[in-house]
Amino acid sequence: MALHIHEAWILLFLIPALVAPAAINHEDYPADEGDQASSNDNLIFDDYRGKGCVDDSGFVYKLGERFFPGHSNCPCVCTEDGPVCDQPECPKIHPKCTKVEHNGCCPECKEVKNFCEYHGKNYKILEEFKPSPCEWCRCEPSNEVHCVVADCAVPECVNPVYEPEQCCPVCKNGPNCFAGTTIIPAGIEVKVDDCNICHCHNGDWWKPAQCSKRECQGKQAL
């Protein structure tokens, strides 16, 4: 009886060892998200330096190949040092160009405004206009405004006036000149006081009048 009890104790100690779980193999289980993210950061991409060139869309060109890096770039040749691109002397864009396209190596003007701007107003090509009574202007095909200013003759009076819508001043009272501070008409002698008779210079209306003394009339000094 004692023998059987001893064998039973031995079995009790052996059973846990027999049913112990097998060693866990980590390769049988997927890595968690953190481990996957860290492994993606260590990806090695191809390095084309010295072997080829890549354009904007990711296409790879061999050494010596000619290609366009992007939609609006100039053509390039792929070298070991990278793309070597053309540098052409592009034509200047017109300063009045309103629409520029960048679809090639050089920008291209597609639309130039067909009007002129002058003092805040727009005029059609070849349109003539008068911004002031003394100016005559035209909108040229070059979008520039060319103006001619009237050349007024020297007025024949000392008190010219400007009439509405007229460029040059006019002598409403005819030719005249100054005799002192008095305006006298041209063409006749005018007695300006008791002792002086004056008349305007012929043709030189801006000069003072010529005066001559006559016998003074009126009360003589006591």
Phi, psi (5° rounding) for residue 110? -105, -15
Give residue 7's pLDDT.
Answer: 53
**How remote is the C-alpha of 193 from its chain's centroid?**
69
Look up tokens 């980590």; give the residue. Answer: 26
Give residue 137's pLDDT.
Answer: 95
**How remote is the C-alpha of 35 from its chain's centroid?**
55
Quick check: 177 pLDDT over 50?
yes
For residue 13, what are the β-bridge partners? none
- Where is mean pLDDT largest: 12-16, 72-76, 122-126, 205-209? 122-126
Average of per-residue pLDDT across 172-200: 89
Average of per-residue pLDDT across 198-217: 80
Q: What span, in angstroms and rounded, lies between the C-alpha atoms of 69 and 121?
A: 45
Give residue 148's pLDDT.
Answer: 92
**84-101 pLDDT per residue, tens:** 888 888 888 877 787 888
Going by pLDDT thresholds of 50, 70 and 90, the confidence category of residue 38 is very low
Three-state secondary structure call for residue 28: helix
Quick check: 128 pLDDT over 90?
yes
Quick check: 43 pLDDT over 50?
no
Query: Is 108 or 127 the better-scoring residue by pLDDT?
Result: 127
Average of per-residue pLDDT across 137-142: 90
For the chain, domain boundaries: 51-111, 115-149, 155-215
**Fold designation for 115-149:** Complement Module; domain 1 (2.10.70)
Quick check: 153 pLDDT over 70?
yes
Query: Is 67 or 49 the better-scoring residue by pLDDT?
Result: 67
